[in-house]
Chains A and B, each alone.
Chain A
Amino acid sequence: MRRVYADANATTPLLPEVMEAMRPYWMEHFGNASSIHLHGQQAHTAVDRARETMAEFFNCHDAEVVFNSGGTEGDNTAIFGILHPGDHFITTSIEHSAILEAARRLARNGIETTFVAPEPSGLINPMDIRRAIRPETRLISVMLANNETGVLQPVEEIGKIASETGIFFHIDAVQGAGKVPFDVRRFGCHLLSISAHKMHGPKGIGAMFVRRGTPIEPLLVGGSHERRQRAGTENVPGIVGLAKAAELAMHSLGDGTIGRLATMRDWLEEAILRIPGTGVNGASDGEQKVPRVANTTNIWFDQLEGEALVIALDLKGVSVSGGSACHSGATEPSHVLMAMGLDKTRARASLRFSLLKAANDADIDHVLQVVPQAVEHLRALAPVAAGTLG
């Protein structure tokens, strides 16, 4: 059976070049980057090179790059490292749970959070951020691209508001990394978090941009790694893999890959929208199209259960996602779609297709063979007569 992976926003496979770049650092150049001998120096050099690449990726100084374990750690560090009791925090209701759950914990320490809701289009209005600011507001955190809808948020405008008002600004850029060009100066942020595995790097490694002079407390303490900003022996193979993935991502941003991906996504979207009773979540704001990353579309289907559709598609060889997984692995209706004003039924009946950069026409063909059939089958099922007991 042909299998198509259309869940790139969940994770991506390593590119062969990334695998190759990492290979020597498992067994041959295995040293601890903190050691003074040759083995240590080899590892240290690899981390330095990787830091230079990441500085280029972010458009910042080497010293502003901190390696960590990924997006969740970056998000948590920004929040717990900047905010103190009595502070006020502004974020949005469509953030990743690494932000939302951290904010919930803040509440226990007397730090209040304002969750700014998106417009029905999925876009955060910068004016809503501005309106939420209080004298004690210390941090704003907004995502670059939403994981469910792919909608790109107006981070530059929010960055301007932050700098005018002297508030720290963190961007969760996990879903934007490798999909849109990065420039932390243009974004106007103090902090920005990314994760390698969303852009064909390894899992369990990420990096954070920390603007020089930003008073941030480390989340992990111990050795003096990463200029005392993140204790723990450097994950050298991971760091090397992250840098390679970032290098390849920068290249792909300029070689036409993104345009090709957008064309394929649009084709997929238009074809699925020909199924009656469907629509896109987070595509337009009335007449105006909202900016999205090139690989993502989120589509609602009338009169069906999204969870059953995800399972049916999986059994037919198409990997997609609907909503977010709860602790048991069952699906919860997406909090992002609900925040955009969808009711539970429609949020539950929505699927996210997110394409890999390597997607080809045959993949889209396969998806388009499977999806309309599965939707028709599900909709045609009449309920089995159940008892009227109780």
Chain B
Amino acid sequence: MNITIAVAMSGGVDSSTVAAVLAHADDGDVASQNSVVGLTLQLWDQTRLASKRGIPDAPKAGRCCSLDDVYDARKVAEHLGIPYYVVNQQERFEQDVVRPFVSEYLAGRTPIPCSLCNNHLKFDQLLQTARSIGADRIATGHYAINEYDADRSRWILKRPVDKAKDQTYFLFGLTQPQLSRTLFPLGRLTKPEVREVARQRGLALAEKPDSQEICFIPGGDYKQFLTAYLEEQGQKAPETAGELVASNGQVIGHHESISNFTVGQRKGLGVSSPSPLYVLNIDPASHRVTVGADAELATRSLRANRLNWISIPGLIAPMRVRAKIRHRHEPAWATLEPAGEDQVLATFDEPQRAVTPGQSAVFYDGDEVVGGGWIV
């Protein structure tokens, strides 16, 4: 069999619909049908930390790599009559996603594991596996549009039609060679339309709820996860207790660990105050956590490094963009300018709330992803 496309199947509605659409072209022309293989990445053993304190034994459905999801993906592949395999990438996932996730938190930053997973697993290792078995391209259920622009001789990543499902924020790290081998068949569909296609194709999981949380953290409590993971590794969390200070420098309390905080956080600060207090800054060197009023969270500019450019070969002159600084952030107008080796400075027109080191900043020109980097 000559396989041309490998579909990354998670067992959810989106990737299952991708498999269905690619496996059986609508026009009924047999010659136009693709040879599709389904691949599921086994990334994390959901039962691995089950015995540890506070970690539930049986993860709920809808997480990546839970047995239920593999079962669902396999059922879809059987229904479609396509070959299907589970590929073990647990070691790579732990090394490239879980460990960095843990060390970022321990260093007082707020990481985005999904972007790391896309960069290291889905669009690197999976693509490699796909090519090993003869597939030129991979297709995923991400909501994004990927098109070749002959004028610019570049692959352009764009925001999808369904803006509420936009996943381009997590895809800014894709290189041109990776984009040239990637299909996002759902980019021009809305989520309700995807569910409708799934129903039409007879997929039993058409009504399966969306997954929301970080896939390897059962229950979504990252602090519990950090503790359980470090315990399993026989490591102790580094001592990062320190002072809680007001923005005027006055010490107003103490905290147990900087990993308990993220910029913009309001709950769990452990101090009382007549007006609401938010985390403004976390200093990993002094372990000092600065808190202040909501208004003080606003920042005029940010710096990002470890950059990847998509619609342009590189940034050589200032450029007007809209910058998105977290998944649920409405991109805001900014001027982007080079700021040294592999670093940019983005200056917002209007101050933005809670610019958070460890998150990524993704720059848009209209619907096009210009590129992005990691906030420092």
Chain A interface (Cβ within 8 Å of chain B)?
A: 1, 304-305, 307-309, 311-312, 314-316, 326-332, 344, 377-378, 381, 383-390
Would A390 and B88 count as touching, CB distance under 8 A?
no
Interface string of B1-23 (1 = CB under 8 A from A): 10100000000000000000000
Tell me the minimal C-beta distance from A64 to chain B in angstroms: 40
Q: For the complex, is B167 an interface residue (Cβ under 8 Å from A)? A: no
Which of B121-129, B194-202, B323-331 faces chain A?
B121-129
- Which A residue's beta carbon lies closest to that of B71? A328
- Which B residue's beta carbon lies closest to that of A331? B88
Would A327 and B1 count as touching, CB distance under 8 A?
no
- B3 surroundings in chain A (CB, below 8 A): 315
Would A386 and B374 count as touching, CB distance under 8 A?
no
Would B178 and A308 count as touching, CB distance under 8 A?
no
Would A386 and B175 count as touching, CB distance under 8 A?
yes
A384's contact among B90, B133, B181, by CB below 8 Å, is which?
Answer: B181
Would B128 and A383 count as touching, CB distance under 8 A?
yes
- Alpha-carbon distance A330/B86, docked complex (angstroms): 5
- Which B residue's beta carbon lies closest to that of A383? B128
Q: For the complex, is B115 an interface residue (Cβ under 8 Å from A)? A: yes
Count: A-B pairs, CB below 8 Å: 104
- A386 surroundings in chain B (CB, below 8 A): 119-120, 123-124, 175, 178
A389's contact among B85, B88, B115, B129, by CB below 8 Å, is which?
Answer: B115
Would A308 and B129 count as touching, CB distance under 8 A?
yes
B86's contact among A314, A328, A344, A381, by CB below 8 Å, is which?
Answer: A328
Interface of chain A, main secondary structure: loop
Tell me the minimal C-beta distance from A344 to chain B in angstroms: 8
Would B83 and A315 count as touching, CB distance under 8 A?
yes
Within B151-194, which residues are at the interface with A (CB < 8 Å)?
173-178, 181
Q: For the complex, is B100 an interface residue (Cβ under 8 Å from A)? A: yes
A311-B85 CB under 8 A given contacts A385-B178, A387-B119, A390-B115: yes
Within B52-84, which residues are at the interface with A (CB < 8 Å)?
65, 67, 70, 74, 83
- A378 surroundings in chain B (CB, below 8 A): 132
- A311 surroundings in chain B (CB, below 8 A): 37, 85, 87, 129, 132-133
A384-B374 CB under 8 A given contacts A329-B70, A390-B115: no
- A304 surroundings in chain B (CB, below 8 A): 132
A381-B133 CB under 8 A given contacts A315-B37, A326-B42, A326-B88: no
- Alpha-carbon distance A332/B89, docked complex (angstroms): 10
- Which B residue's beta carbon lies closest to that of A379? B132
Q: For the complex, is B116 an interface residue (Cβ under 8 Å from A)? A: yes
Would A328 and B70 count as touching, CB distance under 8 A?
yes
A332-B178 CB under 8 A given contacts A312-B132, A386-B123: no
Interface string of B95-120 (1 = CB under 8 A from A): 01000100000000000000110011
Q: For the complex, is B24 an interface residue (Cβ under 8 Å from A)? A: no
- Alpha-carbon distance A378/B86, docked complex (angstroms): 18
Would B74 and A329 count as touching, CB distance under 8 A?
yes
- B181 surroundings in chain A (CB, below 8 A): 384
Would A387 and B173 count as touching, CB distance under 8 A?
yes
B87's contact among A316, A330, A381, A383, by CB below 8 Å, is which?
Answer: A330
- A329 surroundings in chain B (CB, below 8 A): 42, 70, 74, 85-86
B67's contact among A1, A328, A387, by CB below 8 Å, is which?
Answer: A328
- A328 surroundings in chain B (CB, below 8 A): 40, 42, 65, 67, 70, 86
Q: For the complex, is B300 an interface residue (Cβ under 8 Å from A)? A: no
Tell me the minimal C-beta distance from A313 to chain B in angstroms: 9
- Which B residue's beta carbon lies closest to that of A333? B88
Q: For the complex, is B353 an interface residue (Cβ under 8 Å from A)? A: no
Q: For the complex, is B351 an interface residue (Cβ under 8 Å from A)? A: no
Tell me the minimal C-beta distance from A51 to chain B in angstroms: 39
- B120 surroundings in chain A (CB, below 8 A): 386, 390
- B320 surroundings in chain A (CB, below 8 A): none
- Alpha-carbon distance A229/B96, docked complex (angstroms): 52
- Alpha-carbon distance A332/B100, docked complex (angstroms): 23
- Alpha-carbon distance A305/B306, docked complex (angstroms): 29
- B115 surroundings in chain A (CB, below 8 A): 389-390
- Alpha-carbon distance A378/B131, docked complex (angstroms): 8
- Alpha-carbon distance A49/B83, docked complex (angstroms): 44
- A384 surroundings in chain B (CB, below 8 A): 124, 127-128, 131, 175, 177-178, 181
- B347 surroundings in chain A (CB, below 8 A): none
- Which A residue's beta carbon lies closest to that of B91? A344
- Which A residue's beta carbon lies closest to that of B178? A384
- 6 additional contacts (CB under 8 A) given A330-B42, A389-B306: A307-B87, A328-B40, A328-B65, A330-B88, A384-B131, A387-B173
- Alpha-carbon distance A366/B6, docked complex (angstroms): 25
- B173 surroundings in chain A (CB, below 8 A): 387, 389-390
Would A385 and B175 count as touching, CB distance under 8 A?
yes
- Alpha-carbon distance A315/B35, docked complex (angstroms): 11
- Which B residue's beta carbon lies closest to that of A390? B116
- A331 surroundings in chain B (CB, below 8 A): 88
- A1 surroundings in chain B (CB, below 8 A): 1
27 contacts between A and B (CB under 8 A): A304-B132, A305-B129, A305-B132, A308-B129, A311-B87, A311-B129, A312-B132, A315-B37, A316-B1, A326-B42, A328-B70, A328-B86, A329-B42, A329-B74, A332-B88, A381-B131, A383-B124, A384-B128, A384-B175, A384-B181, A385-B178, A387-B175, A388-B306, A389-B306, A389-B374, A390-B100, A390-B374
- Alpha-carbon distance A311/B133, docked complex (angstroms): 7
- Alpha-carbon distance A59/B85, docked complex (angstroms): 43
Tell me the minimal C-beta distance from A332 to chain B in angstroms: 7
- Alpha-carbon distance A132/B177, docked complex (angstroms): 56
- B308 surroundings in chain A (CB, below 8 A): 387, 389
- B42 surroundings in chain A (CB, below 8 A): 326, 328-330
Would B83 and A327 count as touching, CB distance under 8 A?
no
